[in-house]
Amino acid sequence: METVKRPGGRSARVRDAVRQATLAELAERGFGGLTVENVAERSGVHKTTVYRRWGNVEGLIADALELAREEPWPIPDTGSIEGDLRDIVRLVRTGFDDPEAGPVAAAFVAAAMQSPDAARSLHGFLAARHEQSAQVVRRAVARGELPEGVDAHEVIRVAIAPVYYRLFVSHEPVTQDDADRAAAAALTAARAGVL
Amino acid sequence: METVKRPGGRSARVRDAVRQATLAELAERGFGGLTVENVAERSGVHKTTVYRRWGNVEGLIADALELAREEPWPIPDTGSIEGDLRDIVRLVRTGFDDPEAGPVAAAFVAAAMQSPDAARSLHGFLAARHEQSAQVVRRAVARGELPEGVDAHEVIRVAIAPVYYRLFVSHEPVTQDDADRAAAAALTAARAGVL
DNA sequence: ATATAAACGCAACTGGAGTTGTCTTTGGAG
DNA sequence: CTCCAAAGACAACTCCAGTTGCGTTTATAT
């Protein structure tokens, strides 16, 4: 007999409540202020239960990231690689700028810096995002806008990296112009066959 | 009378001991494992003293960053902007790869994500580094290798950003080829007048 | 409908980070 | 040399994140 668990009852409700509470706490206090105890209280689930199922703060983060991974990501299709790339980088910028989703996204990045588990989760999450975004580059190659051998993932990386750098490393403000410039730089390099 | 404090005595020794201990702890346990208590014990300074002078872990980080800021940074001068840029990006990569200095540097980045104080310190630190690195670009302009209106700081940023992105956001391995490619992409964009 | 094992709730406990009041040391001015 | 204010050492305390043992609920298989 296959002891397949089908979580449709109490466990599922607990899981959802904790996930929601984690996201809410993350939005309010950021990663540094995330506590198992606070998540437990907010979710209405007893803290020992949270400790047993999620272990610690890192577990909560990893689980929340898995949830976020399933949300669809609007890939732009403006007709030109120039517009598509620009929109992707803008989307990254505004995503972190958003007063609601921004802190949560930033918390994920912060968490990944201190927890190998969270780092793996974020890596997987971004790999999925990159794979979707890379499609934009492949379309451009098909249209003849970019040379054949271009590394789609690398183009995306080079385009968005300066935005992340300003946000999380140098801690400078990021304008839309900054985002557009980064997209343009990546595009130029891609066209020249450097990427 | 100018009540100028000249810290050449006990206070200075305490300060140095704490700074050293902070760096050592950071190297061993990273930012997440940094504790005022551990720093106090390792330095031989009583923990109440550390708490009163540095306040908390963030204060220790900010102070250590100020110390690191004074260390000189070897600006390459290969004769061409291509070589200079490449060496700068390689230097960033190897800096975080170094088993001794790497964890400390990574800890600074992690700390800046959770503490506005540390963020300011890191911002200042990197601003100084960037200003030095930008010289390489200005030399290139003087030699006619790059167009006049190029934004020196932006060239540096675009060049090193992909390395930081891989290290601290997507958590992918970073090869020397990756570093060289990022430098080449930034250079191409700069030559084309995009940066 | 009922049995049962997993999941959850609960209260009490543990340990360590951070705080406070007070005493002691020390560097430097006169 | 003497004095004294600033800085440090010390011990005792508080508080909260995380743990443990055990009783209770509940989803699911039969």
ipTM of the complex: 0.90
Instruction: Render the burial of A61-91: b for 16+ CB within 10 Å, e for the rest.
Output: bbbbbeebbeeeeebeeeeebbebbbbbbbb
Four-point Cα dihedral B26, B32, B38, B43, nearest 10:
20
* Chain D bases having any atom below 7 Å from a protein CB: 7-11, 16-21, 26-30
Could you report the per-residue pLDDT of B140-182, keeping only the tens digit for each? 999 999 999 999 999 999 999 999 999 999 999 999 999 999 9
Rounded to the nearest angstrom, the gap between the alpha carbon of residue A114 and the centroid of all alpha carbons in its chain is 16
Helix A116-143 and helix A101-112, axial crossing angle in degrees, nearest 10 = 110
Residue B121 tokens read as 């310190």
Nearest nucleotide from residue B49 CA, by C1' atom: D8
Instruction: Output the pLDDT for position B8.
Output: 53
- Tell me the pTM: 0.91
Cα(B136)–Cα(B50) distance, rounded to whole angstroms?
41
**CA separation for the pair B160, B180 (Å, rounded):** 10
> What pLDDT, on the 0 to 100 scale, is given for residue A173?
96
Exposure class string for B80-99: b at 16+ Cβ within 10 A, else e = ebeebbbbbbbbbbeebeee
Mutation target for A interface from B123, B153, B165: give the one with most A CBs within 10 A: B165
Q: What φ, ψ does residue A169 adopt, rounded to 5°?
A: -115, -65
CA–CA distance, B114 with A110 (Å, rounded to integer): 7
| Cβ–Cβ pairs < 8 A, chains A and B | 122
CA angle, residues A100, A77, A185, in degrees to nearest 5: 80
A135, two tokens = 């499609």
Taking the C1' atom of every nucleotide in all shown strands and the CA of A51, the nearest one is D18
The C1' atom of D12 and the CA atom of A78 lie apart, in whole Å, by 69
Per-residue pLDDT of chain A (195 residues; tens, 9 = 90+): 233 344 456 778 999 999 999 999 999 999 989 999 999 999 999 999 999 999 999 999 999 998 888 888 899 999 999 999 999 999 999 999 999 889 999 999 999 998 888 999 999 999 999 999 999 999 999 999 999 999 999 999 999 999 999 999 999 999 999 999 999 999 999 999 999
pLDDT at B10: 67
Provide mean pLDDT across the span B33-56: 95
